[in-house]
């Protein structure tokens, strides 16, 4: 499938959403403060573009740093657990317990410990994104045919070499899938964390606009965040096809 063909379906999907959006406003008489028209949102974005871009930069910074940190730690932990099963049995219950609670529940702790700056948002993004990558990495690293592992051992390969030559390449599709899911999740968590307490960012803009009953600005920030998320997801999907070309 060519790049142009891959773009057709997303564009058609967006056009359908736009048509349903505008049609719902007309048919059901939805008030502007509940669901403004798309042209009104576009005008709000154009009028407030510098502030929106400034907020987007902060949010993307927090999401990107948290994503990289969380993903790196998650992959390292997954590799360590595969190499040391005793470590997995000891630490896995703690990891599951920590992630059984919604990440936003840790927001008060993060804000008190790390302040209202970017550090608290990065920590929360790393926790949320890291778990998604960790689960996929563990599944991929363990989903190996035991016969292939025994064959490696018969050639004298140790546990570390087996992971590097056999397990990691075989797990790459699962790891990349986890990283793809974590991208959108990172932006969501960054925005939610900013809404709970921040000096800047799209989440803070949404919170302040809500307080001021400026719903056009709320929708403008939401649309900017959505476009950024879709763009990053599309870029990573492109990288995925190049990196894991054999899927």
Domains of the chain: 53-243 (1.10.3720.10)
The average pLDDT across 186-201 equals 91
Buried b (16+ CB within 10 A) or exposed e, 31-45: eeeebbeeeebeebb
How does residue 68 score in pLDDT terms, banded at 50, 70 and 90? very high
- The predicted structure's pLDDT at residue 2: 61
Q: How many residues does the chain have?
A: 247
- The predicted structure's pLDDT at residue 104: 84
How does residue 167 score in pLDDT terms, banded at 50, 70 and 90? confident
The average pLDDT across 95-116 equals 87
The pLDDT of residue 210 is above 80:
yes
- The predicted structure's pLDDT at residue 1: 58
Please report which residue ranges of 145-214 form alpha helices under DSSP H.
Answer: 146-154, 159-162, 168-196, 202-211
What is d(CA 175, CA 24) in angstroms, rounded to the nearest whole number?
Answer: 40
**Which residues neighbour 118 within 8 Å (Cβ) at sequence distance 6 or greater?**
58, 61, 62, 65
* Rg of the chain (C-alpha set): 22
- In terms of Cα–Cα distance, which of 160, 101, 162, 163 is closest to 138? 163
- In terms of Cα–Cα distance, which of 77, 126, 134, 78 is closest to 103? 126
How does residue 3 score in pLDDT terms, banded at 50, 70 and 90? low
The pLDDT of residue 26 is above 90:
no
Residue for token pair 């410990």: 113
- The predicted structure's pLDDT at residue 124: 93
What is d(CA 43, CA 34) in angstroms, rounded to the nearest whole number?
Answer: 17
Confidence (pTM): 0.87
């Amino acid at each position: 499938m060519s790049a142009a063909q891959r773009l057709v379906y997303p564009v058609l999907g967006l056009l359908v959403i736009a048509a349903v959006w505008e049609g719902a406003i007309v048919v059901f008489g939805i008030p502007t403060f509940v669901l403004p028209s798309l042209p009104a949102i576009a005008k709000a974005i154009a009028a407030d573009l510098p502030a929106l871009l400034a907020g987007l930069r902060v949010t993307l910074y927090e999401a990107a740093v948290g994503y990289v940190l969380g993903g790196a730690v998650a992959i390292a932990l997954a590799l360590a657990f595969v190499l040391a099963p005793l470590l997995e049995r000891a630490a896995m219950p703690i990891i599951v317990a920590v992630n059984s609670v919604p990440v936003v529940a840790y927001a008060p702790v993060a804000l008190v410990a790390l302040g209202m700056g970017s550090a608290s948002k990065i920590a929360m993004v790393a926790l949320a994104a890291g778990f998604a990558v960790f689960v996929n990495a563990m599944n991929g690293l363990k989903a190996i045919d035991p016969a292939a592992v025994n064959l490696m051992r018969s050639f004298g390969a140790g546990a570390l070499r087996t992971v590097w030559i056999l397990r990691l390449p075989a797990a790459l599709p699962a790891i990349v899938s986890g990283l793809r899911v974590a991208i959108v999740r990172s932006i969501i968590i960054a925005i939610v964390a900013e809404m709970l307490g921040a000096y800047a960012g799209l989440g803070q803009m949404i919170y302040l606009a809500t307080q001021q009953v400026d719903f056009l600005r709320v929708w403008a920030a939401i649309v900017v965040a959505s476009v950024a998320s879709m763009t990053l997801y599309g870029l990573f999907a492109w990288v995925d096809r190049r990196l894991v070309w054999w899927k």
